[in-house]
Amino acid sequence: MDFDWRTWLTLAARWVHIFASILWVGTTYYFTWLDGRFSAAEKAGKKDGQVWMVHSGGFYRVDKTKTFDVGQTLHWFRWEAAVTWLSGIVLLVLLYWMGGVMVDETVRELANWKAVLIGAAVVFLGWGVYDGIMKSPVGRSEKLAAVVGFALVAALAFTLSRWISGRAVYIHVGALFGTIMANNVWMRILPAQRKMVAAIQEGRTPDAALGASAKLRSKQNTFLAVPVVFLMMSNHFPTVTYGSSYGWVVLCVMVLAGWAAASWIRRA
């Protein structure tokens, strides 16, 4: 029996990708839930700053503070994001860029390498567009940033649907969202956290703006996570997603539905 390395590599990458994403999204939403409980306690005038939980065979008490004991181990949450993104890129290359599904001749006759170049540009340059928006005056308003962001997603989905296959459109918009989320963690959230930790270790008060910026990027990750899951599932439901006559419209509607679901989850 011949050893099919590509199939085994795809299986391993998918296994790692799914489990790492469970850890990443689970951790993200867990801390989002905790923040919600602390915010509710503050609004209610409670000053103890504690959340009590029960799980498995014990009870847990969590406190939220603006500093930490420098003599204690500080736990970071970062590798889940890196592993999820890296395994996702491996799958993107194996299943799409090398898988022969980038081009649909009924959409446009296009060499595969050109379709791959378009897809790569979306994934890697899209982060720069998003980050630029967040650093611009538009990023100062969450609502305005959301409106501009959705308009760009709609324009991107429509444009891509005229160049590459519908299935590739969905997966590349999903890969773009995933890349934004991973870069938010590694390029914006973690650097801000490191500066805050360094300030405390040096006996200084951390810059509150760093915490606010990191929290905003983390919040946006929770809104991106739900549409990403839908987009990754879309290849299993071609007739109602990318295979429909208005696949790009369905994509946009489901992104909005994902954002609405994320908003509800954050308040639950």
The domain of 157 spans 5-267
Domain count, the chain: 1
pLDDT, residue 219, reads 93
Count the helices and strands in the chain (H runs, E runs).
8, 2
pLDDT, residue 186, reads 96
Q: Among 174, 189, 176, which Cα is nearest to 219's?
A: 189
For the chain, give the mean pLDDT.
92
Return the structure tokens found at 171. 């997966």
pLDDT, residue 38, reads 86
User: Average of pLDDT values for 89-96?
Assistant: 96
Return the structure tokens found at 258. 């994902």
pLDDT tens-digit readout, 227-255:
999 999 998 999 999 998 899 999 999 99
Are 88 and 181 within 8 A, CB to CB?
A: no
pLDDT tens-digit readout, 54-82:
998 899 988 888 888 888 888 888 999 99
Return the structure tokens found at 100. 């022969």
What own/partner pairs with CB < 8 Å and gap ≥ 24 does 186-190 have?
Answer: 186/78, 186/81, 186/82, 187/131, 188/131, 188/213, 188/214, 188/217, 189/214, 189/217, 189/218, 190/76, 190/78
Residues paired with residue 62 on neighbouring β-strands, in sequence order:
51
> How far, in Å, CA of 258 to CA of 98, rounded?
29
Return the structure tokens found at 133. 């928006």
pLDDT tens-digit readout, 116-163:
999 999 999 999 999 999 999 999 999 999 999 999 999 999 999 999
**CA dist 33 → 38, 78, 222, 266 (Å):** 9, 18, 11, 7
* Confidence tier at 36 by pLDDT (50, 70, 90): confident
pLDDT, residue 268, reads 62
Q: Do you know the residue count of the chain?
A: 268
Amino acid at site 188: R
Are 99 and 164 within 8 A, CB to CB?
A: no
pLDDT tens-digit readout, 184-229:
999 999 999 999 999 999 988 889 999 899 999 999 999 999 999 9
User: Average of pLDDT values for 27-51?
Assistant: 83
pLDDT, residue 130, reads 97
* Confidence tier at 48 by pLDDT (50, 70, 90): low
